[in-house]
Structure 1
């Protein structure tokens, strides 16, 4: 396990695992400066295979985390490391507002203008900018994509609103996909979702900028409070399970201090949570609801329009768990039947597999990542 908060630094964590990184800056059309990391080598990828190196693959994180979260587990349980071992050209993105992507060409990160975004803007600006940059550097015409949670939401936004990007996706792999979530199981989110979906309330409680105030001090406090020797350790794990689903046997609880600390350090905007609250309450996958009057100005209609899933023509693979309290089986079915090029919907063969198990289960490689690698191999 990482010590002295090394995991907060992406490069340090990658070196600890033995996978050196390159770092790139990408500017979106609306001025956000994003950080992309690239795994430049793997000891398990034969040098003789370099000439036939496989396509680039973009691996995208979820809500309240950054690319660092993919590297908290050991290398044999980390998807980016396994992909690098299989000779893929691995890129890890960081959405706007995270600790790695907190610059703008015009606005300071303490301004209201900087934080005026939800995951909609990540889909229409951030992902296209990262994809175009990777394809330019690697000289490929398309890439593979893996997203977890919000990393899937943003992909569905991009592929439905900017459909030309479907041709730039060789295959898309959705881990715990989040689009329709009106039937989620989490008791906390069933109560809070509709409340959070009211902008006036959430802005009053949190302000209209950061949801989580990113700082090294809070990260250290979270780490110390949740580590195994702390009397609060069981409280940390139980609170987490109330959101994502209980899995006391398979979830790697030794990582909880690292998960909490990196989450606190990542940061997010209030509008990201509001937008999720809105689609929980509406049972629809739709754009940000500004209210009746403002909707008329933004959309020329009184309600927020739904995303047109039928425009997503890229090959999509879904991976879901029975015990995922953030995306129910019923909502997975709603998504699956609407995707015109769904290749498969893989149910993880473990009854208690929850939302975060897709990154932090002790046997996630056996249960999920091997299936991802197998599906990727179809395109070699």
Structure 2
């Protein structure tokens, strides 16, 4: 009895201490994976839209709609944004109303949509499975490309009555775009431009130690990797994320960023420290082991290829002992690539290899800052100036050119 009272008292003391810490560190509330609340707080209208994929997953997209009819366009052009692995649409608005890409595009009259993939906190429903079923988690980013992205693009175009859109993909967001447009080339004409920020495709030169440590085990076909194919990789526990976020003061910066080091690396010169509480409160937000294992397979093989199920499994699924490579020569959408020298995930050599395989690369932008890393493409210092302004310029220049051609054809 006395032990229970002491334990209860200790728990209450911890809760009070966390409450005091929370009040001391922050002047504003931390929003944990609630894009609707976050966007409304920043003063923008927002809608959420649900779409069911061909294999039964129910996905949520977030839209910042146009409230006033454009003076320039008959219909406002669409910008569709996809973020990276184990992240959600919240990542695009970490920087607030003055530095987030969706708000920049919305201010210029674009109809902005942000997608989410199966398994993250917004996409944990299914037509006949639950998130407790192993089969629910038996997916990699291959399925995200051929099912999730295809379903979202089709829904947005049907809902808006338009025939094409601009696409911006970060990290895994770029991966799934390459999967879809290479295997289903008809989707190329549904995209006006594809801007790929830190695109993950070839990864054999990845600098991050995570690949070297885990690829020999999880990037090969064995009892452990097969057992993990139906497992959730990342928990979406809000309490745990809140604890991490609430204790990320400047003096704890290195402790906090250590949770991100597989992507960030050890050199975090340009990571925006003021955004760390927001990042840790909203990343990671759910995903499968199979996503990571698919990348580790590619680290071992040096190829951009479909999931490797072993010789027997591949023979059944692909009618070949080896998984087929994605036919990147079929990606005909105009591609714009952004990369950096200090990216622990996307090495410069791998970017060069990707550029050689794509037939319609219009421009390749190298970040001028040598220490810029993978996470900085979302929340780096001056990311608006270094990355987002260029993204907006590419989209705007395309629309100006398209409108001029359209006007000439009417004369």
TM class by shorter-chain length? Answer: over 0.9
1:260 aligns with 2:280: yes
Q: Write the distance in 1 (CA, Å) between the matches of 2:274 and 2:359.
A: 40
Corresponding residue of 1:285: 304
How far 1:239 sits from its partner (Å)?
A: 4.8
Corresponding residue of 1:62: 84
Give the match's secondary structure for 2:133: coil
| 2:126 aligns with one of 104, 122, 127 | 104
Following superposition of structure 1 onto structure 2, how do residues 31-50 of structure 1 map, counting pairs within 5 Å? 31-41=56-66, 49=71
Q: 1:207 to 1:287 in 2, by over 3 A?
A: closer
Give the match's secondary structure for 2:134: coil
Q: 1:41 to 1:194 in 2, by over 3 A?
A: farther
Deviation string 1:41-61 (CA, Å, 9 cap, x unpaired) is: 48xxx7653754531111001
1:201 aligns with 2:224: yes
1:228 aligns with 2:249: yes
Q: 1:254 to 1:195 in 2, by over 3 A?
A: farther
Q: Write the distance in 2 (CA, Å) between the matches of 1:138 and 1:132.
A: 10
Corresponding residue of 2:372: 353
| 2:264 aligns with one of 218, 230, 244 | 244
1:296 aligns with 2:340: no
Q: 1:313 to 1:2 in 2, by over 3 A?
A: farther
Give the match's secondary structure for 1:172: strand
Corresponding residue of 2:31: 6
Give the match's secondary structure for 1:379: helix
Following superposition of structure 1 onto structure 2, how do residues 270-349 of structure 1 map, counting pairs within 5 Å? 270-349=289-368
Q: Write the distance in 2 (CA, Å) between the matches of 1:139 and 1:285.
A: 34
Give the match's secondary structure for 1:288: coil
Give the match's secondary structure for 1:25: strand
Following superposition of structure 1 onto structure 2, how do residues 156-235 of structure 1 map, counting pairs within 5 Å? 156-198=178-220, 200-202=223-225, 208-225=230-247, 227-228=248-249, 232-235=252-255
Deviates more, 1:339-348 or 1:74-83: 74-83
Q: Write the distance in 2 (CA, Å) between the matches of 1:105 and 1:207.
A: 20
CA contact (8 A) 2:229 2:290 kept: no
Superposition RMSD in Å? 2.0
Q: Write the distance in 1 (CA, Å) between the matches of 2:380 and 2:216.
A: 30
How far 1:175 sits from its partner (Å)?
A: 0.3
Give the match's secondary structure for 2:234: coil
Following superposition of structure 1 onto structure 2, how do residues 85-124 of structure 1 map, counting pairs within 5 Å? 85-124=107-146
Paired residues, what number? 373
Deviation string 1:181-212 (CA, Å, 9 cap, x unpaired) is: 100111232322332213533465x6732101
Give the TM-score normalised by structure 1. 0.93
Give the match's secondary structure for 1:304: coil
Q: 1:223 to 1:329 in 2, by over 3 A?
A: same
How far 1:278 sits from its partner (Å)?
A: 0.5
CA contact (8 A) 1:286 1:304 kept: yes
Corresponding residue of 1:127: 149
Q: Write the distance in 1 (CA, Å) between the matches of 2:74 and 2:370.
A: 39
Q: Write the distance in 2 (CA, Å) between the matches of 1:220 and 1:7.
A: 8
| 1:149 aligns with one of 171, 178, 182 | 171
Give the match's secondary structure for 1:261: helix
Which of the pair has more CA radius of gyration?
2
Give the match's secondary structure for 1:179: coil
How far 1:379 sits from its partner (Å)?
A: 1.8
CA contact (8 A) 1:184 1:325 kept: yes
Give the match's secondary structure for 2:47: strand
How far 1:373 sits from its partner (Å)?
A: 1.1
How far 1:232 sits from its partner (Å)?
A: 4.4
Give the match's secondary structure for 1:220: helix
1:17 aligns with 2:42: yes
CA contact (8 A) 1:77 1:362 kept: no
Q: Write the distance in 1 (CA, Å) between the matches of 2:398 and 2:27.
A: 35
How far 1:6 sits from its partner (Å)?
A: 1.6
Q: Write the distance in 2 (CA, Å) between the matches of 1:20 and 1:2.
A: 24
Corresponding residue of 2:21: none
